């Protein structure tokens, strides 16, 4: 299905990146395998993603909602799959997470700020972007400047990730399937 080989040359940098991927995510992530064909790009993306992971101005649940809403708008199955796993790892309610792709039909599942974040993600992802002053101003008031800038950047970053993964033909790696069998979730269901 992938439009590019997922067997890059195993240079020391690639081996290090794949070791990290297995350690952090339990497998070699296909976007990393695709990026590994371009050494400088891989190094740049790795530094950037590690830096992004340290941003803390925006609530993690809202950040995840923005990323998942963006991936759903684009239709990136790899991103949605990984996002489901990430939501489970963050302890987010999986029933709510599963409703993100059709959030307008499940408005009662989200609070007002969450609905604004989903709306903003959709507006930013439109081509061309259709961000309204009203939604932007309300989010700025609700979140503050630092969190609003982080939200905007996360949506833009997820647009990049989702569009690259979709264009390269990357699809689900089975992350979401694993969520149903996680011991923590089974224990909490009792």
Report how far residue 34's alpha carbon sits from residue 12's, in angstroms, rounded to the nearest whole number. 16
Same structural domain, 144 and 168: yes
Q: Can you give the pLDDT at residue 185?
A: 32
Question: How many Å separate Cα 170 from the centre of its chain?
Answer: 14
C-alpha torsion sign, points 44, 50, 52, 55: negative
**Local confidence pLDDT in tens for the 190 residues of the chain:** 899 999 999 999 999 999 999 999 999 999 999 999 999 999 999 999 999 999 999 999 999 999 999 999 999 999 999 999 999 999 999 999 999 999 999 999 999 999 999 999 999 999 999 999 999 999 999 999 999 999 999 999 999 999 999 999 999 999 988 665 333 333 333 3
Same structural domain, 87 and 47: no
Q: Is residue 77 within 8 Å of 65, Cβ to Cβ?
A: no
- Angle at CA 110, nearest 5°, toward 99 and 176? 30
Range of the domain at 112: 60-179
Q: Which residue reads 């489901």 in tokens?
A: 84
Same structural domain, 82 and 32: no
Same structural domain, 149 and 108: yes
CATH code of the domain covering residue 108: 1.20.1290.10
Same structural domain, 72 and 43: no
Report how far residue 78's alpha carbon sits from residue 110's, in angstroms, rounded to the nearest whole number. 24
């Amino acid at each position: 299905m992938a439009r590019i080989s997922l067997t890059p040359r195993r240079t020391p940098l690639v081996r290090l990146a794949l070791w990290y991927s297995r350690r952090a995510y339990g497998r070699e992530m296909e976007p990393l395998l695709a990026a590994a064909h371009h050494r400088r790009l891989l190094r740049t993306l790795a530094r950037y993603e590690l830096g992004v992971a340290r941003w803390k101005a925006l609530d993690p649940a809202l950040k995840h909602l923005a990323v998942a809403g963006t991936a759903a708008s684009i239709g990136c199955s790899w991103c949605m799959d990984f996002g489901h796993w990430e939501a489970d790892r963050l302890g987010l309610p999986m029933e709510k997470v599963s409703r993100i792709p059709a959030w307008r039909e499940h408005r009662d599942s989200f609070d007002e700020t969450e609905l604004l974040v989903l709306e903003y993600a959709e507006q930013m992802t439109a081509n061309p972007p259709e961000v309204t002053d009203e939604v932007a101003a309300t989010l700025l008031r609700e979140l503050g400047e630092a969190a609003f800038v982080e939200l905007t950047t996360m949506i833009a970053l997820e647009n990049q990730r989702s569009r690259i993964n979709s264009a390269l033909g990357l699809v689900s790696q089975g992350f979401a399937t694993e969520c149903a069998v996680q011991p923590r979730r089974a224990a909490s269901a009792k």
